[in-house]
Structure 1
Amino acid sequence: METIRILLLEDDAPTRQRLHDALAADPGFSVEAVDSLAAARAAIARECPQVLLTDLELPDGHGADLTAEVHAAHPQVEILVISVLCDEANVVAAIAAGASGYIVKDALPEDIGNTVRQVLDGESPLSAGIARYLLRRLQPAATAGAEPVARPALDLTGRETDILWGIAKGMSYNEIADSLGISRKTLPNYIKSIYRKLEVNSRGEAVFEAVSRKLITL
């Protein structure tokens, strides 16, 4: 079985150790833990990981900046942000930058590893709470005398909308294909079409755009 390389960026030493231990408990994971953006950038330059877990508020910057950098330079890397409960604003900023989801800092050890496995299996660990926050923040502001900004209409098919809904609900690609009665081999073609129409490159971005455009409701 292939060993998955994980880079963990967390500046708080006890939290970093707890997350490291939870991930390292999976024999399929190889985990490197660092405590700063500078150290994370150096580690990525040496060997690009398959999964990046990054805290957001760091001594030398913000994890959303690293998320954007890695997503642009290495789009194949799955990125999860490490968050505290009720920190929707920072999580949404990271999703907009290219993250596929998030892990809550005080999650149970087994849930931490499971979340990484979920994103590697094509699922989107995004909660309904985050989706609701997106809806609230992305509603056009009612400004006196201002015309609402029109967004281009999208020609998503009914099937593509159903697939988007499945992605937003955190279903794996295989689960989506089975639930809709379509071939697992043809699903990637639908995904590529959805990404092209939404002008996105990741599941997190797709959910962000779908919710903001009211294409799906969670």
Structure 2
Amino acid sequence: MIVDDQAMVRAGLAAIVGAQPGMRVVGEAADGAAGLELAVTTTPDVVLMDVRMPGVDGITATARLTALPDAPRVLVLTTFHQDVYVFEALRAGASGFLLKDAEPDDLIAAIRTVAAGEAMLSPVVTRRLIDAFADGRVTATRAADPRLDALTPRERDVLMQLARGRSNAEIGAALGITTGTVKVHVNALLPKLGARDRVQATIIAYDLGLVRPGGPPTVEPP
């Protein structure tokens, strides 16, 4: 499903997506409110969501969509590079963030990625996320959270590595465990945090102060 207030943008996106095997555009909406109503009747797998729209904006619509039962995956598309849009979209539950000037092949790859249940966040955006926490442009929203108590020490180790934007292979090398074991820990810690994917887990780790941007992971007293 495509949600964008510009008819030409919707038409262009629909043409790109509709030309792909195994993909079909089930609906188009010009604002967040119409998108929410349409999602209930069309039950899309993925929603391409614009950020700045009249009425219900893309951030608000994303938060409401991802709270639905059997929620669709949301891929946020925007022409705006400001960090605040990236972070607010991810905090709202988006599974990915892509600029509208991306190549069509990148768009299709991003849709397939989030449709498969993965998160789509480029290393550049991950780096900006870390930098923004480091210089105070984005601040933690919660000081403590009981969800952390549910994590095992090793799951915390994996989460802190994950929050640095490292791959499973890099995490395994840093912790001296296999890539398969890293996957097991990631799959275990996500539901404990209430995170749908690695992106949301990263946001939570920084929000809770579990990782200090630009420095070593936060070490709590025994």
Q: TM-score range by the shorter chain?
A: 0.7 to 0.9
Aligned partner of 1:182 among 177, 180, 183: 180
2:82 alignment partner in structure 1 = 87
Is 1:17 the counterpart of 2:6? The answer is no
Structure 1 68/216 Cα, relative in aligned 2: closer, same or farther at 3 Å?
same
Q: Distance in 2 between matches of 1:70 and 1:160?
A: 29
Q: Distance in 2 between matches of 1:198 and 1:215?
A: 15
For 1:182, give the aligned amino acid. G
Q: Equivalent pairs: percent with the same residue?
A: 25
3-state SS of 2:48 partner = strand
Is 1:41 the counterpart of 2:36? The answer is yes
Answer with 103-112 or 196-205: which moved more.
196-205
CA RMSD of aligned residues (A): 3.6
Deviations 1:95-151 (A, max 9, x none): 10111111211111111111111122343221334334433444596xxxxxxx853
3-state SS of 1:73 partner = coil
Q: Distance in 2 between matches of 1:138 and 1:80?
A: 23
Q: Which has the higher strand share?
A: 1
Aligned partner of 2:99 among 100, 104, 123: 104
Q: Distance in 2 between matches of 1:170 and 1:36?
A: 36
Please report the TM-score for the alignment, with normalisation by the length of structure 2.
Answer: 0.72
Q: Distance in 1 between matches of 2:37 and 2:145?
A: 40
Structure 1 170/40 Cα, relative in aligned 2: closer, same or farther at 3 Å?
farther
Q: Distance in 1 between matches of 2:119 and 2:180?
A: 20
Structure 1 163/53 Cα, relative in aligned 2: closer, same or farther at 3 Å?
same
1:151 alignment partner in structure 2 = 144
Equivalent residue pairs, number: 200
Is 1:124 the counterpart of 2:122? The answer is no
Structure 2 unaligned regions, length at least 5: 137-141, 215-222
CA contact (8 A) 2:10 2:28 kept: yes
Aligned partner of 1:28 among 13, 19, 22: 22
Q: Distance in 2 between matches of 1:217 and 1:126?
A: 18
Shift, 1:207, TM fit: 2.0
Please report the TM-score for the alignment, with normalisation by the length of structure 1.
Answer: 0.73
CA contact (8 A) 1:124 1:167 kept: no
For 1:10, give the aligned amino acid. D
Is 1:58 the counterpart of 2:53? The answer is yes
Deviations 1:61-89 (A, max 9, x none): 21111111111113542111112252221
CA contact (8 A) 2:47 2:75 kept: yes
CA contact (8 A) 1:160 1:190 kept: no
CA contact (8 A) 1:96 1:204 kept: no
3-state SS of 1:79 partner = strand
For 2:144, give the aligned amino acid. R
2:139 alignment partner in structure 1 = none
Q: Distance in 1 between matches of 2:166 and 2:18?
A: 24
1:3 alignment partner in structure 2 = none
Which has the bigger relative contact order, CA under 8 A and spacing at least 6? 1
